[in-house]
Amino acid sequence: MDCNLTQVDFLDVTFNLHSEKFWPYRKPNNEPLYIHTESNHPPSIIKQLPAMIEARVSATACNEEEFNKVKPDYDAALKSSGFKQSIHFNKNQQQARRSRKRKVTWFNPPFNASVLTNIGKSFLLLLSKHFPPSHRYHRIFNRQTVKLSYSCSPNMQSMISAHNRKLLRTHHDSMKPIVPEQPGCNCRKPDLCPMPGNCLRSAITYKATVTSQSDERHYIGATEQTFKKRYPKHKESLENEHSKEHTSLSTYVWKLRKQMEVPTIKWEVLKQCSPYSCGSRRCDTCLTEKFLILKSDPSKCINKNSELMQKCRHSNKFKLKNAGK
């Protein structure tokens, strides 16, 4: 810990108490590097990059004199990335306008320069076509509540790294993926196990087949923990009527019971998934569950369509507010 300092470097700014000035700061041997103009990034990002750099450097410089001292380094970095314009000192920084908060649904398609179709324009045209002002869902799906923003596709380095990791996890002789062995079942009475031989498997997509006197339908669910820990919550909603609204499965079962039918439920594993890893942009467990729901017969599937729009809940354990829980 250093005390009685009159000059200090904080993040990307240097503060001086004697001169009452501040200017941009970079760590030694840290040369600025930006994406190239011909890179596979959305045009809006490439277009706004010089303006964003100009705004940040101007904000960290107290006057134009301090700005001009570091300007050549940033101009050279922009020129090496294919940009022709240079940055200029802008002391009148525009404050962000206060926007009214509203519930917005974002559509984030991956951007690729080789795709000639204007995906964003086509999507917004479909939105206006199928949800006109006279439509009953226009309040939910319109240009103000549904926004579009492109996401960057994985670059070549990430693709090669993912491919190499996949190959390193395989046997050299059979080239079959190495799947870690999971314990099957530890029930004291295996005959009473809800999912015979598989109750200790984790990160799975499972299926519950409900058979009654009149019909046979199925429910598709997913869990990242073991099924043995997930099953008690299903059991509670199936045995207690006040919890019947917890899942689509329990709602359907209690509906059959009110019709004086006695349904039977059979559980089975549909697919083994990969657990969510911190920092990942997608969840294999949730995506597999939604894919299987879409693939199943709507007349036989108990799941509601609203389940397809649910946000992944497996990333919550990595949030800072849940640290230590």
Q: pLDDT per position in the chain (325 positions), as tens?
A: 788 888 999 889 999 998 889 999 998 888 889 999 988 888 888 999 999 999 999 999 988 899 999 999 999 999 999 999 899 998 776 666 777 777 888 898 888 888 888 998 999 999 999 999 999 889 889 998 999 988 888 778 888 888 887 777 654 444 444 445 667 888 888 888 888 888 899 899 999 999 998 889 999 999 999 999 999 999 999 999 898 889 999 999 999 999 999 999 999 999 999 888 887 878 999 999 999 999 999 899 999 888 888 888 888 888 888 776 6
pLDDT at res. 251: 93
* Domain ranges within the chain, ordered by starting residue: 7-80, 105-151, 195-317
Look at residue 264 and give its three-state secondary structure: strand
Neighbours of 111 (CB within 10 A): 19
d(CA 314, CA 318): 8
Q: Which stretch of DSSP H or E encloses residue 289?
A: helix 284-295
State residue 295 phi and psi, 5-degree precision: -75, -25
- At residue 111, what is the residue type? F
pLDDT at res. 40: 86
Sign of CA dihedral 88, 92, 93, 96: negative
pLDDT at res. 49: 92
pLDDT at res. 177: 46
Length of the chain in residues, anyone?
A: 325
d(CA 306, CA 247): 12
